[in-house]
Amino acid sequence: GAMFWKFDLHTSSHLDTLLEKEDLSLPELLDEEDVLQECKVVNRKLLDFLLQPSHLQAMVAWVTQEPPASGEERLRYKYPSVACEILTSDVPQINDALGADESLLNRLYGFLQSGDSLNPLLASFFSKVMGILISRKTDQLVSFLRKKEDFVDLLLRHIGTSAIMDLLLRLLTCVERPQLRQDVFNWLNEEKIVQRLIEQIHPSKDDNQHSNASQSLCDIIRLSREQMIQGQDGPEPDQLLATLEKQETIEQLLSNMFEGELCQSVIVSGIQVLLTLLEPRRPRSDSVAMNNFFSSVDGQLELLAHGALDNAISSMGALHALRPRLARFHQLLLEPPKLEPLQMTWGNLAPPLGNTRLHVVKLLASALSTNAAALTQELLVLDVPNTLLDLFFHYVFNNFLHAQVEVCVSAMLSSGPPPDSSSETPNPNPILKHLLQHCRLVERILTSWEENDHVQSGGGPRKGYMGHLTRVANAVVQNTEQGPNAEQLGQLLKELPEDQQRRWEAFVSGPLAETNKKNTVDLVRPHLLPRSLARS
């Protein structure tokens, strides 16, 4: 790149003339529009000027110190902003100069020590400069930070500032060499970063601390698992992930969530961590675009089967810790936190479902889909599936909720025998009996469908859950035709009252078939594949 610019005289000539000036000041130079561009193409004269120790110090001071309050707001941050752009322009000479100079690094680091609350804009400048140094001068930065006794304390004190959360993430993601990355993870683990992030998800902290600590923990889980899948972990397993997956770690998180008066932000932030722990592990590549769907589906299923065992082991701690708390979570669905009634176009919604309950639904749905026998047993005793269906039909317009419950019910209908059942002839699956007999699934599908027809024929609005209800009905049909539960489902349908059996058969061959025909466009959705396609 540099050669090319040597001949492009007209842009640099103005800057070069300026750089000839004896008494040129840094602000004067930074007022020039093309200074950043010239920096990136490595204009030697310009770099010599910028790399003078006093100028580097001035730029570091700008990005870390509160600008004087005088003058216009827009101008206050002008030089800090340009200084940040230059320091993060990823020019090797600038990276080298910063990385090699401990006094400059100390000045930068001083920003973290500067007080109780950080200026969010300066924090973002600081985090960007540190980020590029972590990527480009990894050894120097890691050894510099490890010598700082208060580094992890300060990270945690300011985790509520998003830029500081980003800095932690950069430390976890920008260290390329496996051995050094492992050292960093081990160091952070010795500093008990996981346990201390969990301390932030506590009613005594504020919402930003809750959500940023939660986000950091979720990032640690996903990153570590991804690296394991790609086989990038070195000789020893990832310490941070191991700490996070421990039962006692998760018990601590749960105890924070239910301590004292319920704090919705703590519950939601905690659930996000639990959901990430329970996420099925799979390589990233499985978000295959639809056009690849047909070719890759067998490969995917095989992958998932291999992954199932790892999954069961890696979420063991979470499942054990969750089990005694399930009743408490279920209670939250039955007696929601106090919320103001919601004014909807069609009237008042009191109480609305609310974000907390939506998260609880996600968590319980996720726990059900792990298909771990002890957990499933407990969820059925609590009657969780029934509560989920009650909410599904009650909150007619909450599509986030409908999607969760639909996926959950479909997973239950196709759930294989519990991983711990050994016999060749599997015992009846208790989930199915619960759904069909106790939750009256067929009857509820028929009744709701008829109610909707009735409302619509009178000119009223279509119920918001009809699309999802269609898919639940299709799941019943498909699982009766094929899959691990076909025989048992067929048997359960035969045990329904005769008139209900007749209504179901008429419904499947009539309204459901017609709706599916109308929705043919939707059939690219994997879980609605017609059987002929699913087999091919």
Contacts of 110 (CB under 8 A, 6+ apart): 64
Contacts of 525 (CB under 8 A, 6+ apart): none
Are 158 and 215 in a shared domain? no
State the average pLDDT over residues 208-235.
85
Contacts of 351 (CB under 8 A, 6+ apart): 336, 338, 339, 341
Strand, coil or helix: what is 344?
strand
Q: Pick from 173, 201, 236: which residue ends a domain? A: 173
Quick: pLDDT tens for 378-417. 999 999 999 999 999 999 999 999 999 999 999 999 988 7
Confidence band of 370 (pLDDT split at 50, 70, 90): confident
Is the per-residue pLDDT at 82 higher than 90? yes
The total number of structural domains that make up the chain:
3
What pLDDT shows up at residue 302? 35
Confidence band of 314 (pLDDT split at 50, 70, 90): confident
Q: Are 378 and 372 in contact (CB under 8 A)?
A: no
Residue 201 phi/psi, 5-degree rounding, is -90, 75
Is the per-residue pLDDT at 232 higher than 60? no
Measured between alpha carbons, how far is 518 from 513 in angstroms, rounded to an integer?
A: 9
- The candidate with the shortest Cα–Cα distance to 13, out of 38, 30, 31, 36, is 38
Measured between alpha carbons, how far is 304 from 81 in angstroms, rounded to an integer?
A: 48
Are 165 and 237 in a shared domain? no
What pLDDT shows up at residue 349? 66
Polymer length in residues for the chain? 536
Measured between alpha carbons, how far is 294 from 303 in angstroms, rounded to an integer?
A: 15
* Residue 290 within a domain: no
* Residue 457 within a domain: yes
Q: Pick from 142, 173, 204: which residue ends a domain? A: 173
What pLDDT shows up at residue 526? 56
State the average pLDDT over residues 234-257.
89
Is the per-residue pLDDT at 534 higher than 60? no
Are 82 and 205 in a shared domain? no
* Residue 369 within a domain: yes
State the average pLDDT over residues 18-33.
88
Are 508 and 363 in a shared domain? yes
Is the per-residue pLDDT at 5 higher than 90? no
Boundaries of domain holding 60: 23-173
Quick: pLDDT tens for 481-526. 998 999 999 999 999 999 999 999 999 999 999 999 988 765 555 5
Is the C-alpha dihedral spanning 360, 361, 364, 370 positive or negative?
negative
Are 141 and 230 in a shared domain? no
Is the per-residue pLDDT at 289 higher than 50? no
Q: Pick from 123, 145, 173: which residue ends a domain? A: 173
Are 142 and 274 in a shared domain? no
Measured between alpha carbons, how far is 263 from 252 in angstroms, rounded to an integer?
A: 16
Span of 96-110, 327-341, 444-458, 504-518 with lowest mean pLDDT:
327-341
What pLDDT shows up at residue 286? 40
Are 451 and 510 in a shared domain? yes
* Residue 4 within a domain: no
Are 159 and 215 in a shared domain? no
Are 365 and 249 in a shared domain? no
Counting residues of the chain whose pLDDT is more than 70, the rounded percentage is 83
> In angstroms, what CA-CA distances link 104 with 94, 98, 402, 515?
12, 6, 55, 68
Residue 496 phi/psi, 5-degree rounding, is -70, 155
What's the whole-model pTM score? 0.85
Tell me the longest C-alpha to C-alpha distance in the chain: 100
351 prior amide bond cis, ω within 30 = yes
Confidence band of 253 (pLDDT split at 50, 70, 90): very high
> In angstroms, what CA-CA distances link 367 with 157, 282, 319, 320, 378?
33, 18, 8, 11, 10
Other Cβ atoms closer than 10 A to 198? 24
What pLDDT shows up at residue 297? 37
Other Cβ atoms closer than 10 A to 532? 7
Are 212 and 249 in a shared domain? yes
Is the per-residue pLDDT at 32 higher than 90? no
> In angstroms, what CA-CA distances link 223 with 164, 241, 286, 334?
18, 9, 16, 35
State the average pLDDT over residues 244-250.
96
CATH number at 353 reads 1.25.10
Are 352 and 463 in a shared domain? yes
* Residue 523 within a domain: no
Provide the residue type at 104 as one letter: L
Residue 303 phi/psi, 5-degree rounding, is -55, -45
What pLDDT shows up at residue 382? 96
User: What secondary structure letter does DSSP report for 436?
Assistant: I
* Residue 303 within a domain: no
The mean of the pLDDT values for the chain is 86
* Residue 244 within a domain: yes
The pair of three-digit structure tokens given for residue 52, joined into one six-digit string: 């003078």
- The candidate with the shortest Cα–Cα distance to 389, out of 359, 410, 420, is 410
State the average pLDDT over residues 268-289.
74
Beta bridge partners of 347: 344
> pLDDT higher for 17 or 295?
17
Are 369 and 512 in a shared domain? yes
Highest mean pLDDT among 197-211, 341-355, 356-370, 510-524: 197-211
Quick: pLDDT tens for 134-150. 999 999 999 999 999 99
> In angstroms, what CA-CA distances link 450 with 96, 278, 456, 460?
72, 37, 10, 13
* Residue 187 within a domain: no
Measured between alpha carbons, how far is 266 from 256 in angstroms, rounded to an integer?
A: 8
Beta strands in 346-414 (DSSP E): 347-349
> pLDDT higher for 457 or 519?
457
Measured between alpha carbons, how far is 339 from 341 in angstroms, rounded to an integer?
A: 6
